[in-house]
Amino acid sequence: LDKCTTGILLCAKTKETHNLLTNLFRQRKIHKRYWAILNGTPDIDQGIIDIPIGNIVIKGRHRLTLRPDYSSSKVTNKRKHNGDILPAVTEYSVLKRKGNSSLVEVRPSTGFKHQIRVHMGLGLSTPILGDHKYSRISELDKPQKVHGDILQRLEVRKTLSRNLPLCLHAKQI
């Protein structure tokens, strides 16, 4: 889990159990479900985000971002990517909407670092509430622009929105 993610954490007491769990994860026999509160509402209530992710450097800092495969399309004005491109797939379902926020269940089929955060924030343009890193595609470390109705319900001043925790919870494994 990311250090800011709450919920279930799977630990192994022995090296053998660790190896077994690692192999089960590699074979995708262990399924994970997360709940996330989004700063926004997806246009579609459920779907599958199948967009590869990869590392880029912005202002000297590394960050993951979407890396769509343009080689099989008619798009010709996109640069070719250097570095690893990871085939990331995430399913989501909206459980509840309220104003400009939504509670979603997220089921990653692949399990890459920050995959859920990248797919929700950059893929759907509905970042996880409190996720400042993946709220804007080209900016780092700027506070997330939280919708006013969310701040009002949370009774948080706009100037303190930077202090909101990442609302991502590992619900089931």
> E strands along the chain, which residues?
6-7, 33-39, 46-50, 53-58, 61-66, 85-86, 89-98, 101-108, 168-172
């399924």: which residue's tokens? 31
Residue of 2, 69, 131, 141 with catalytic role = 2
69 in active site: no
E-strand ranges in 72-139 read 85-86, 89-98, 101-108
* Residues 116 and 37 sit within 8 Å (Cβ to Cβ): no
Q: Which residues are catalytic?
A: 2
